[in-house]
Amino acid sequence: MDSAATLVWLAPEPPDAAQARALASWSRARGVPLTSPVHAEVPALAVDLGMGDAVERWLDIARDAIAGRERDSADRALSSAESLLRAHPEWPQAAWLMAELDRARSVEWRHVPPTDLQFAEGAWLRAEAIDGGRVAGVGEEASARHPSSATIAVDLTPEDAELWLDGQPAKDTVIPTRAGTHALVATWGGAPVWAEWIEVPAGSSSVRVKAPGVLPCSVRDVARAHVTADPTGAPGALQIDAGHVDCRAWVAATAGTGPGSLRMALCETNRCGPALEWRAPEPWTWSPDDERRNERKGMPWATWGLVGTGVAIAAGVVILASGALRPVPAETHFVSGGIKRQ
């Protein structure tokens, strides 16, 4: 990891002063600048909840026209309502409103000339396929038949997006339903990011959903990581579950076993190495930068060794200056009374 890495703090409480110093010392010792996750959201679809009121007004107009046997007015109102719904499958109430629109059409085809009982029954079946059916109201007549069973296998990208079918959360990517028209929505954190009306045939079928993914190294991206117990069962051991993180280079950090200590793991996308203990050097020791320079020179002892060496050198200077270590001369001196060698 040669460039900057995104720091992901996984402890419930933010780092205290000692842990912050340990993070800084780890960064210096490894030569890895640490950055914060970026605050960027997935582009969500705009949801105007007030548009549902517009659809309901068109439905009221259509029902009044049906009661007055005014087919043209009823058709215009129902077409306007359907156009709004087709353009906005992401609305939470879109599926329910579409079902009510089909029931209004069923009543129209049964009671407004020219009538067509087959069309009326088909519209009622489409409504039941969406919302599961309800008791027929005044002027309505339920179909004697029911929509066929169906199953949708959704090829979902990204895998951890959430699916909703007809306003109901889907627990799996294989969704049991009924043959007919359905609103399929993919969400991130409850916000819709992809939505379409799909036609589901009887039996098994599949649909591909490619929703916008989260921005790598964003807050939402790294929020998918969490700490789990090490599967080896070692006491106090931790493992980082990277989930579906897309960040290329990031560092997972959490509190260590003692005050001011950390557990740090190097991670790439959805894979993390072991969470290793790290503690910042005490303030009165040499900095990690000095220690790294000494190691590169092949002198790991230098952190404390140079202190003793400095004292020895200073003492040596005093001794040499005094002449105490000067070599004894070996030369001949001529004195009275004979020759003596000293």
Q: Give first-to-last CA distance, the chain, whole Å.
A: 71
Q: Which residues contact 213 (CB under 8 A, 6 or more apart)?
A: 42, 157, 158, 246
pLDDT of residue 304 exceeding 80: no
pLDDT of residue 318 exceeding 50: no
The label of the residue with tokens 């109430």 reads 93
Distance between CA 16 and CA 255 in Å, rounded?
10
Q: List, for residues 58-112, the tens digit of each pLDDT value.
A: 999 999 999 999 999 999 999 999 999 999 999 999 999 999 999 999 999 999 9
Please return the burial class of 264, using the count of CB atoms within 10 Å of its CB with bins 0-12, 13-18 and 19+: buried
pLDDT of residue 125 exceeding 70: yes
Nearest CA-CA partner of 58 in 37, 73, 43: 73
Question: Is the pTM of the predicted complex or chain greater than 0.85?
Answer: no
Residues in the chain: 342
Q: Quick one: pLDDT at residue 335?
A: 43
Distance between CA 18 and CA 261 in Å, rounded?
8
Q: Quick one: pLDDT at residue 3?
A: 82
Q: List, for residues 139-168, the tens digit of each pLDDT value.
A: 899 998 999 999 999 999 888 889 999 999
158 cis-preceded (ω within 30 degrees of 0)? yes
Distance between CA 286 and CA 295 in Å, rounded?
13
Query: Which residue blocks in 34-93 are alpha helix, DSSP H?
Result: 51-67, 71-87
Residue 296 φ/ψ, nearest 5 degrees: -65, -30
Query: Which residue blocks in 160-287 are alpha helix, DSSP H?
Result: 219-222
Q: Report the pLDDT averaged over residues 169-196.
A: 94
Q: Quick one: pLDDT at residue 293?
A: 46
Residue 318 φ/ψ, nearest 5 degrees: -65, -45
Report the C-alpha dihedral over residues 203, 204, 210, 213, rounded to 10 degrees.
110
Instruction: Bin 242: left if φ > 0, else alpha if -120 < ψ < 50, else beta.
Output: alpha
CB 227 within 8 A of CB 245: no
Angle between helix 71-87 and helix 51-67 axes, rounded to 10 deg: 160
Structure tokens that stand for 226 in this block:
């969490």
pLDDT level of residue 239 (50, 70, 90 thresholds): confident
Q: Report the pLDDT averaged over residues 258-285.
A: 85
Q: Quick one: pLDDT at residue 101?
A: 97
pLDDT level of residue 280 (50, 70, 90 thresholds): confident
Structure tokens that stand for 40 in this block:
């960027």
Q: Quick one: pLDDT at residue 328?
A: 42
What is the overall mean pLDDT for the chain?
82
pLDDT of residue 282 exceeding 90: no
Q: Which residues contact 70 (CB under 8 A, 6 or more apart)?
A: 112
The label of the residue with tokens 């960040």 reads 247
Q: Which residues contact 186 (CB under 8 A, 6 or more apart)?
A: 156, 161, 162, 163, 164, 192, 193, 194, 195, 209, 211
Distance between CA 6 and CA 316 in Å, rounded?
51
pLDDT level of residue 329 (50, 70, 90 thresholds): very low
The label of the residue with tokens 């993390």 reads 272
Q: How far is CA 139 from CA 18, 103, 146, 196, in A?
A: 74, 11, 20, 32
Q: Which residues contact 5 (CB under 8 A, 6 or more apart)?
A: 32, 33, 34, 35, 249, 250, 251, 266
Q: Report the pLDDT averaged over residues 171-192.
A: 93
pLDDT higher at 318 or 339 = 339
pLDDT level of residue 131 (50, 70, 90 thresholds): very high
Q: List, for residues 1-60, the tens digit of each pLDDT value.
A: 558 999 999 988 999 999 999 999 999 998 999 999 998 877 889 888 888 999 999 999
Q: How far is CA 219 from CA 40, 50, 167, in A?
A: 7, 31, 27
